[in-house]
Amino acid sequence: MILDAKIPEGPIEKKWTSFKNNAKLISPANKRKFKVIVVGTGLAGSSASATLAELGYEVETFCFHDSPRRAHSIAAQGGINAAKNYQNDGDSVWRLFYDTIKGGDFRAREANVYRLAEVSGTIIDQCVSQGVPFAREYGGELTNRSFGGAQVSRTFYAKGQTGQQLLLGAYSALSAQIGLGRVKMHENSEMLDLVLVDGHAKGIVTRDLVTGEIKTHAADTVLLCTGGYSNVYYLSTNARGSNVTATWRAYKRGAAFANPCYTQIHPTCIPVAGEYQSKLTLMSESLRNDGRVWVPKAKGDTRNPRDIPEGERDYYLERKYPSYGNLAPRDIASRSAKEVCDEGRGVGPGGLGVYLDFSAAIARLGEKTIRERYGNLFEMYGNITGENAYERPMRIYPAVHYTMGGLWVDYNLMSTIPGLHVLGEANFSDHGANRLGASALMQGLSDGYFVIPNTLGEYLSTQFGKKVSTDMPEFKKTETEARAFVEKLLAVKGNVPVDEFHRQLGLIIWDECGMARSEAGLKKAIADVRALRERFWKEVAIPGTGAELNQSLERAGRVADFLEFGELMCIDALTREESCGGHFRVEHQTPEGEALRHDDRFAEVYAWMFQGEETAPELVREPLNYEAVHLATRSYK
């Protein structure tokens, strides 16, 4: 198979405009004849559902949550980037594009990233019009802050709850369309499989999580907006329900999965405290605007941080990366934290933590200002740890936060299965090997509000007169297979809770495919994941039946998929014999311990195609041709 990214001709700054000028349109009279299924109601899914319904398409939207307002986009704290240059600090579309490409360690597709930067400003306009209450100055202007990997202030925010406000904005637009009867909303509905007719994505199989009913839904095209797979690590900053199921089952139906080993470990999270822990909590990157990261210079220094004199502290980010300092990008900040902890200079229980210290900022700006900027984060920290961060530095440690990999898509956001579009974190396209802070919200909304409404016509214009219905044998067959999967799970009747397998999987992946990866470790992980998967199918305990709300069953289905996906992730990490962004292979590093890319061999997207349960996946490559920027060694020094 050859991956055709369908990148428009022309210079990079003209590609999107020329695409739109020449794109296939669907007339208003024809739009209502096309039905679109949207799976997921995070930023990408809600914004796409609302926008496509406004345009006149018939939309059916599904989410496994009890309401479309709950998806994990809601938990994003810090902000959303946009090249508005309201601060007059030299920002531009080009700069946002370049920062994102560089931040992604030159492993993202240029044309997609430029388009993202290009529409970023419109997203802010759209959100403000919807009533998103972004932070403002006393005079009423919008205000900005800085995020990692940028030397300008281009991040718009709403307290520490930007994701919540943006999602509620998209949710309100979606709600208006549901109220008008233009979107049919299915809550508590989990996608179990994708239905293909003549090789095209034409429907889905869902399970109603409350009644257990399994049924099929037909449409002209399917949009997966189902988020990332961070929960393969069990402990992550993602919500408990976030999962890989929709994208994984699409993969098993023929959608290529690109760069699964690109995962983001966020540097500022509350450290793991014990085995009982069910998730990790992020402390927004925005805190690094005012907090200084340090550890003691001496190993095993267990003094109260306030008693450690300035001269005996190592502000290691400021020392190693003077021009970016505490705002070094996430992958670099995380790896540096791991390094100092590996040296035995970590703080707190188990030595897995570093300090994020606000005392200098409090002395400079006063506690009131800091409270205004980050009050809810300090409160959250205090609640979880029982410590007061106004008086004592926070303890933080990296945790899995976001996944850059995802289903492969072309410029139109269509996967290798015709008719299957993939938006937001679920696709692979914009962040390369590392995502910059405040760019996830930007991408989710860009894909949903502005990209897919323009690109969907490319596919739909080829689908006149190709209506399908759930009576077709393809639907019956896929439904039967999805039903068999659920029954197989229920038939195991073991006595080990699902969480137990999930936790063990997480430990394997975290140890061997986390912040540092090695050939031996990855090979071991692959064997361990296989063994664990075998045990799962013999020993998992799922009390209750399939015909009711059964949370063990829900989780078991998702963990079964993670147990397969984890293996692919390690295979990808093993095959990519270089270090780039969040993917750090210990065999490939500079003498200073920085990531060492091998552009001659790996300036490519690795997309994996399913070949059957017992067969190794096939690797298909998409070369990354950099026309507008030069490949450079990423430096933040």
Partner 1 sequence: MSTMNFHLRLWKQKSAADKGEFIKIHATEIPSECSFLEMLDIVNNRLTREGKEPVSFASDCREGICGTCHMVINGVPQGPGRGAACQVYMRKFENGQTITVEPFRVGAFPIVKDLVVNRGAYDRIIRSGGFISEHTGGAPDASTSLIPKPVADAAMDAAACIGCGACAAACPNSSPMLFVGAKVTHLGLLPQGQAERKSRARNMVRTMQEEGFGNCSNYYACEAVCPANVPASVIAMLNREYIRGEVSQTVGAID
Lay out the site mask for partner 1 across 27-56 (x = CB under 8 A, - = otherwise): --------------------x--xx--x--
Between CA 189 and CA 192, with CA 191 as vertex, the angle to 5 degrees is 125
Contact between residue 599 and residue 631 where contact means Cβ atoms under 8 Å apart: yes
Number of residues near partner 1 (by CB under 8 A):
83
Q: Which of 211, 480 has the CB closer to partner 1? A: 211
Q: Which of 172, 461 has the CB closer to partner 1? A: 172
Interaction residues for partner 1, span 433-472 (CB under 8 A): 449-450, 453
Q: Least distance to partner 1 from the beta carbon of 16, Å?
A: 15
Q: Is 552 in the site for partner 1 (CB under 8 A)?
A: yes
As a whole number of angstroms, the distance between CA 146 and CA 291 comes to: 13
The per-residue DSSP string of 264-295 comes to: EEEEEEPPP--TT-----B--GGGGGT-EEEE
Lay out the site mask for partner 1 across 253-292 (x = CB under 8 A, - = otherwise): --------------------xx-xxxx-xx----------
Q: Tell me which of 298, 360, 520, 549 binds partner 1, using CB under 8 A.
A: 549
Q: Which of 235, 569 has the CB closer to partner 1? A: 235
Q: Least distance to partner 1 from the beta carbon of 122, Å?
A: 7
Q: Which residues pair with 622 in a beta bridge?
A: 605
Neighbours of 611 (CB within 10 A): 10
Contact between residue 390 and residue 356 where contact means Cβ atoms under 8 Å apart: no
474: tokens are 């393809």
74: tokens are 């809601």
Q: Tell me which of 3, 7, 23, 135 binds partner 1, using CB under 8 A.
A: 135
Active site residues: 330
Q: Is 136 in the site for partner 1 (CB under 8 A)?
A: yes
Q: Please choose, out of 19-27, 29-37, 308-316, 381-389, the segment that lies near partner 1 by the rule CB under 8 A.
A: 381-389
Q: Tell me which of 159, 184, 215, 297 binds partner 1, using CB under 8 A.
A: 159
Q: Least distance to partner 1 from the beta carbon of 180, Å?
A: 9
Q: Least distance to partner 1 from the beta carbon of 560, Å?
A: 16
Q: Is 539 in the site for partner 1 (CB under 8 A)?
A: no
Q: Which residues pair with 605 in a beta bridge?
A: 622
Q: Tell me which of 87, 122, 470, 589 binds partner 1, using CB under 8 A.
A: 122
Q: Please choose, out of 60-68, 255-263, 287-295, 510-518, the segment that lies near partner 1 by the rule CB under 8 A.
A: 60-68
Q: Which of 184, 523 has the CB closer to partner 1? A: 184
Q: Which of 470, 551 has the CB closer to partner 1? A: 551
Q: Which of 325, 453 has the CB closer to partner 1? A: 453
DSSP 448: I
Sequence-separated (6 or more) residues with CB below 8 Å from residue 369: none
Q: Which of 229, 602 has the CB closer to partner 1? A: 229
As a whole number of angstroms, the distance between CA 330 and CA 266 comes to: 6
Contact between residue 69 and residue 171 where contact means Cβ atoms under 8 Å apart: yes
Q: Least distance to partner 1 from the beta carbon of 360, Å?
A: 26
To the nearest 10°, the Cα dihedral for 541, 545, 550, 551?
10
Helix (H, G, I), strand (E, B) or coil at 257: strand
Neighbours of 592 (CB within 10 A): 7
Neighbours of 16 (CB within 10 A): 22
Lay out the site mask for partner 1 across 586-625 (x = CB under 8 A, - = otherwise): ----------------------------------------
259: tokens are 């760069």
Q: Least distance to partner 1 from the beta carbon of 308, Å?
A: 25
Helix (H) or strand (E) holding 183: strand 183-186
Contact between residue 53 and residue 59 where contact means Cβ atoms under 8 Å apart: yes
